[in-house]
Structure 1
């Protein structure tokens, strides 16, 4: 009987060890029961300062074993298989998290502290007026768009939006009488988010000020109609000249002032931030009048002058005459004063205005045209003579015009430093005022003394008024003489002689003027050629010279007209 019981026990054991179903073999060294372990750690808030989070659900996923953190954020899971796996952490109001646990043949594992972020939080802040000093604004509607949550600010301008998902988004602020505003809130982790103070700008306010007379002493003006054009709002001044327009949009614009018997006025109000805008005192002119007139030329027949500047000095008003020479200045106080007329090219003039109790005055002005310097030429002349003499002279030629015919009485050249005040003579042939000066005329012993000195051209008209119409200076004195090669010394030449000279290199730009004269007591100019190139060294006349004695000269002329003449070279044509 004992034998059969032993056999039965052996069969049962054989069955158990041969079964294909999952089993734990107590004799197997790989049996998990031989690798029982524990894992623990802490769960804190992600935000600083970090605080322990209790009742966090901690799940060991390998075996779906659950634990919770205590009041210190600590958890511990025991008697689990020592197989690498995942721990999952979750709690309402916090972000989920997980970690992979690698045992590394350890039976006890302390994981790194788990940090959970809030998923719901509070958003708060303050709303103030934008103008200074800033004041809190109550009953501002605050809209957190992410969650469609609306709250209002309290008497301190404070608002708080509670228990909303922590996520960046737009927040909006709105209240009647203020401009709407909004801002983007960057919100990622903090449970409590304080936004920067919000400043709202008034969009409705009041505008006020005073209206007074412009004459001294200034007096308040009552019953002035004040018109704020932006909203067609009206007010009238009281006995103190004060006005106030309430509940108007804060926006820059024009304000107008009007009362019978006074000049209308307006001003631009630059209105940006202030809720209450006090404008500068407005001064209205009363007993107003107008000045009209026409400006003509002095010269006969008198012609109207357009674009003449008309200046009413009392009120610093500037106008211009039209194409007919007419002007008009309206709405000005009837105070006696000067009116001035001015235009380029004419002598200024003025008229004294005496209103004499009238509200309109008509005047006529007559302007004398100024003489104009059309051209001015000042150049030196050096003439070489035998044996080695140089004669220095100065030529001044000025072309002057004046719209008033025969209005020029005198033209002279003036140089205070050289003590020169010499009249220029009008040349009917050239129509220039001109004069050829010797050194003695210039009160100098050498032409060098005049180089760089300003020679002023002064015109005196028939009314003895003087005009400095322009000036110029001596630019150069050409002393170096061209060397003539042939013909010279009464050499025999053909009727078309070839005139030769050595190349002239003075270091500045110039041209030649070649002249042939009869050699007699009163020489006659037979031929000349101007603007001969500086590169030429010979030339022949384009005429046949009659038999006789001649001499020829070369002039060097620079770009300023300064010139130098050679000594005469003689020849004979037979």
Structure 2
């Protein structure tokens, strides 16, 4: 001990020891303000739920941008993103069949955020067909496009609000009419409406269909095309102004077309309001007659029509063929 007290310490060594002590002290108290330091990280967690009933959505993806951190929800709709540096971020959420959502968050501590996603409306069934109608009056044949849509919404069918279509190359759009409580929609398009001379000008031009719900969220179906226009019309033979007794046989002239087709027969009662009372479809293309056995009222007037229907649903129709049932008197 006496040796230590009397020993001489070089000034350079003393200065070195003091400097080391100062550095160690500074390191111990240094602020940890590096935003990329995991020790500064926080957790972002929460749930992804259906807007309509708060049920969990499994498999939704939640991402933190711009740092590209992603988590997937579990069976309970829960997600957890650990060790996110403090800061302001965009939190994005998406799930198949739902409208995406996002929120801006400034986080300085562990944060919880729940998303409530709206189910996207759907175009369940879409039919885009051409119709060629031969008629007694007016004598000119009628050509039009018929657009049929069955729409739905995973949250509630009644949330479907609008269905419409566009023909982008023509700058044309039209809204369909709702025709049933089951959210069936119908649209009729004739050539002059679209600014063209005939339906032939629409062949090869893409149609785009949209469905929108009450929240303004929408889905679309692209690249729908008309396939063909059936120019040839079938002609009926019997009954055609005849009085018949049930049962009787409807007859027509054969039709020759270079593609597959079938026939469809429709029967109407013609009172103050024309009402379809019978339909016989999928009649083979080599047929020229079909028996009719439905009981009819002799006091009423009737007519029938014959359609040629191709494999895409395009149609060409005969003129109306009136007939009466025996016992009605004249």
- TM-score, normalisation: structure 1: 0.47
Any residues of structure 2 matched to 1:54-73 within 5 Å, and which? none
Larger C-alpha radius of gyration, 1 or 2?
A: 1
| Corresponding residue for residue 349 of structure 1 | 101
| Corresponding residue for residue 74 of structure 2 | 322
Distance of 1:526 and 1:350 partners within structure 2: 54
Instruction: Give the alignment's Cα RMSD to 1 decimal.
Output: 2.7
Report whether the alignment pairs 1:361 with 2:111.
yes
Distance of 2:141 and 2:167 partners within structure 1: 25
The count of residues paired between Structure 1 and Structure 2 equals 292
| Corresponding residue for residue 531 of structure 1 | 282
How far residue 521 of structure 1 moved from its aligned partner, in angstroms, is: 5.8
Report whether the alignment pairs 1:334 with 2:75.
no
Per-residue CA deviation, residues 387-421 of structure 1 (Å, 9 max, x unaligned), is: 85210122111112112334333221112323322
Distance of 1:284 and 1:529 partners within structure 2: 76
How far residue 288 of structure 1 moved from its aligned partner, in angstroms, is: 1.8
**Cα 1:297/1:572, change in 2 over 3 Å:** closer
Report whether the alignment pairs 1:396 with 2:143.
no
| Corresponding residue for residue 291 of structure 1 | 44
What is the SS of the residue equivalent to 2:200? helix
Distance of 1:295 and 1:475 partners within structure 2: 43
Contact 1:426 1:432 in 2 (8 A): yes
Distance of 2:155 and 2:278 partners within structure 1: 41
2:123 to 369, 373, 398: 373
| Corresponding residue for residue 320 of structure 2 | 568
**Cα 1:430/1:449, change in 2 over 3 Å:** farther
Contact 2:168 2:206 in 1 (8 A): no
Per-residue CA deviation, residues 169-226 of structure 1 (Å, 9 max, x unaligned), is: xxxxxxxxxxxxxxxxxxxxxxxxxxxxxxxxxxxxxxxxxxxxxxxxxxxxxxxxxx
Between Structure 1 and Structure 2, the one with more helix by share is: 2
Contact 2:192 2:198 in 1 (8 A): no
What is the SS of the residue equivalent to 1:315? coil
**Cα 1:481/1:324, change in 2 over 3 Å:** same
How far residue 464 of structure 1 moved from its aligned partner, in angstroms, is: 3.2
Q: Which runs of 5+ in 1 are unaligned?
A: 1-260, 263-282
**Cα 1:496/1:326, change in 2 over 3 Å:** same
How far residue 382 of structure 1 moved from its aligned partner, in angstroms, is: 0.9
How far residue 446 of structure 1 moved from its aligned partner, in angstroms, is: 0.7
Per-residue CA deviation, residues 471-521 of structure 1 (Å, 9 max, x unaligned), is: 522111111012323333x23433222211222221222221112334556
How far residue 372 of structure 1 moved from its aligned partner, in angstroms, is: 1.4
Distance of 1:527 and 1:351 partners within structure 2: 57
Higher relative contact order (CA 8 A, sep 6+): 2
What is the SS of the residue equivalent to 2:248? coil
What is the SS of the residue equivalent to 1:354? strand
Per-residue CA deviation, residues 311-348 of structure 1 (Å, 9 max, x unaligned), is: 12243222100111111111232232112111111121
- TM-score, normalisation: structure 2: 0.79
| Corresponding residue for residue 244 of structure 2 | 493
| Corresponding residue for residue 262 of structure 2 | 511
Contact 1:527 1:541 in 2 (8 A): no
Distance of 2:215 and 2:295 partners within structure 1: 56
Report whether the alignment pairs 1:304 with 2:43.
no
